[in-house]
Structure formats: C-alpha cells, structure tokens
Amino acid sequence: MPAIEVRKVPLHHVSDASEMVKLIDDGVFSADRVIAVVGKTEGNGGVNDYTRILADRAFREALVSRGADPEAVKEVPIVWSGGTDGVISPHATIFATLPPDMAEPSDELRLTVGYAMSEELLPEDIGRSAMITKVADAVKAAMSRAGITDPADVHYVQTKTPLLTLKTIADAHSRGETVFTEDTLHSMDVSNGGTALGIAVALGEIEMPTDDDIMRDRSLYSAVASCSSGVELDRAQVVVVGNARGVGGRYRIGHSVMEDALDADGIWEAIRSAGLDLPERPHTSDLDGRLVNVFLKCEASQDGHVRGRRNAMLDDSDVHWHRQIKAAVGGVTAAVTGDPAVFVSVSAAHQGPEGGGPVAAIVDLG
C-alpha cells in the first residue's frame, strides 16, 4: 500500500470543490490518486437531504476535470454526512495515495486506507443479520486492501449505506418481504446500527448478534465505527482507516470513545492515541497545527439525561434530537480543536457506548 496524503478543505457552498482543485493544481496530489473523501454538507441530515448528492457530483466532476478516469471516479468512495448544526462548518477530508518518490517507506506505524463495496443490500436486509454479514465481508476486504492484518490497527471505519424510503419499502412488500421499520427517518438509525454491528463482527469486537439484538442491546458496539446512511446507494460503501508499517508518510490515526456528550477528554485521548504528546490538561494551542481532523459519532442518551441532569431532546416535537445532539457535540468538539470544521455525525446506535460515541483523530507527525 502506498503512503497516504490527507488534507481537510472547506466547502464555500454546497456544490463547491474548488479547494480540492487547488490542491491538485498545486501538486499536493493528483486527481487519479484520490481514493476517498469524507465530508459534512449543510443540509438537514435527513432522508431528503439532497445536499449530499450535490456535493458528491461536484467532487466527482472536479476529479474528472483534472484528468481522472471517469469510470474510475465512479468507484471512489465519497461519503457525505448531512447536517452542520450549530457551529459545525461544511468541509471535506480528502485521502490520496502518493507516488513512491514522494514518501519513503518506514517501519513506523503510518496512515493507510482501504475501501470496498458490499453486496447489494435489499430493503429487507436493513437492520437484520443479512446486513451484518454483508457489511462484515466488505470490512474484511477493505482491511486487506489497506494492508492491515491486525484488527487492533484499525482506528476508523466510515460507511455509507442505504436507508429505507417509501419506494424501497413498497419494493420489499411487492416481493412478499417485510422491513424492520416503515418510519423512513428511523430507518437511518436502523441502517447505521446494523452496519456498526457488521463492523464490530468483522473486527472481532463482538460475536455475531441475533436479529433481536439490533437496536435493542446497546452494550454491543464498535469503538471505531462511523456509519452514515442515505438515498444515494444500494450497498455498503466501506472506508477502513488505520495504521500499517512499511507504507511511510507523515500521518497517523488513533481512536477513543466519548462516554457521554460532554466527554472532551475522550476527544483528547483519541488525539494522544494518534501519536501527539500532550500535557495532562491539554489546550487547543498544544495541537500546534498538527491535527488534521477528528471524526465523531454521537447519540442522545436513551434515558434522557447527561451526567445526572435531565434534558428534553427526546421529548422535543419541534426540533428532532438528531439535530440537537449534533449541535451540542459539535460545540464540545470545536472547543477542543479550535476549528469548527469537524466531522460530527449523529445516529450512533451500536457505535461507541450508549449516550456517547467513537472518536478518531488523524495527526500530522511531520
């Protein structure tokens, strides 16, 4: 696996890829070496969030305009999480491979990336054992492509999977099949949760769960899963990010978990895990420009409390809890990093401990 270059760029509007184009034109990486993009768009984050499609099209068209093969660009995993509630700023993190003359191999652990697509996920698969198995197989394929043999070296698995729509629900019914839920917004949580369990199975974090465990037994989770779902695709798009020896490069990734929505220490621990030497009580200034980005999932605690204090998120009929918890955790995260362009995504069922969520951090070691 070649060395990886990773850069974070702002989105100036929802269909803007100009900052990626600047990196390509400046020779930071070439268009045909971009292997994955993970980003935040400013839509509503719901079933009908078409900003994800607009951003996807903009980035793919930009890659083609700069010389990448159109057919190859279609296969590049570009994962958009909709919703930049609160201070979260629209942005993208771009992963590209480097030619051998731009990075010397190293025996130190350095960033590596692999990607894969699962078998087709049928509407009746979502939130059931079939989904777990298909996702687990794709995670293992992505690990292999990343050159990772030890699951302990996997620190972040970003996925995009289909959720249920009225059309796909009707399709299942027309074939005599049932679906987990007919609530299309809730199907986002279901798709993310089933996918996370597939990641956990692939990495040996848990044994294979039963259908009855999905969305019910929250003690079953992956500490490295970051799952997103939408209407853009019909299978699981899997990006595995970890560390490997021999690849070289300047970057390394680490992870931890937030135990609850206010757990800033969990974010700092992920940054330490990636390799930055920080004081016992770190400050944003200690990052010294070496943090590329952090990637978090968050979830409103099902008991309606944070640190013993009651909140009204789950009872609020005006603003869905998805948007409230995302804004809250986005603020906590930006306070740590000093940068509002952070990847904070909601709907974290089976992703990190209940009421909290996983955190991954990528740092530039120079």
Q: Which of 8, 160, 297, 326 is catalytic?
A: 160
> Using an 8 Å Cβ cutoff, are 130 and 236 in contact?
no
Q: Which of 187, 191, 228, 256 is catalytic?
A: 228
Residues sharing a CB contact under 8 Å with residue 49, sequence separation 6 or more, in sequence order? 41, 43, 82, 83, 230
> Using an 8 Å Cβ cutoff, are 336 and 258 in contact?
no
DSSP conformation letters of 212-241: GGTTT-TT--BSSEEEEEESS-SEEEEEEE
| Angstrom distance (rounded) from CA 51 to CA 53 | 5
Known catalytic residue at 228: yes
| Angstrom distance (rounded) from CA 78 to CA 361 | 19
Known catalytic residue at 160: yes
Pairing of strands 343-346, 291-298: parallel
Half-sphere exposure (Cβ direction) of 162: Cα atoms closer than 13 Å: 22
| Count of beta carbons in the 10 Å neighbourhood of residue 208 | 13
| Angstrom distance (rounded) from CA 139 to CA 48 | 27
Active site residues: 160, 228
